[in-house]
Amino acid sequence: MLHKPQTKLNQLHKFSSINRWNFIKTGLLIAGLAVCFMMDRTYFFYPPSLAPAWNNIYFDAVGLIAGLILITVGVFNLHEDRLVKLGLGVSVAFLTVLIVAEFFHVFGAGYYRFHPIILFEFYAIINFMQLAFEYDPQD
């Protein structure tokens, strides 16, 4: 009888380390994407009327802050609900806007260089869904 709760505790500890690594990994991904877009101010070009909005430095700064929040949550194993939800929500919104902008380029301008990037960002969104599913605020 005493053995069963201890086994469950070990399983929770195992998932916690995986969960921490996923937070760090996805935080690095989001922060890296934001820094890349900060460096290249002409990355998005189609449609020309939306190019200034796609390449806005404030949008990239929001992505960088969201990535840093996720890295902090993973490194320090924080279980603050609002902080985790803020980091996950803003990061998913950041990736979704990037995917929409890249779809404009692929289907509107015929610029097919974005196909691998779009697939990579879909993987990241699936990883966010896994993080949200595994996250347990009571640990």
| Separation of alpha carbons 72 and 78, rounded Å | 8
Domain extents for the chain? 19-134
| Separation of alpha carbons 103 and 111, rounded Å | 9
Cis peptide leading into residue 47 (ω within 30°): yes
Among candidate residues 62, 17, 55, 24, the one with its CA nearest the CA of residue 39: 55
pLDDT at residue 123 is higher than 90: no
- Which pLDDT does position 67 carry in this prediction? 93
Confidence band of 15 (pLDDT split at 50, 70, 90): very low
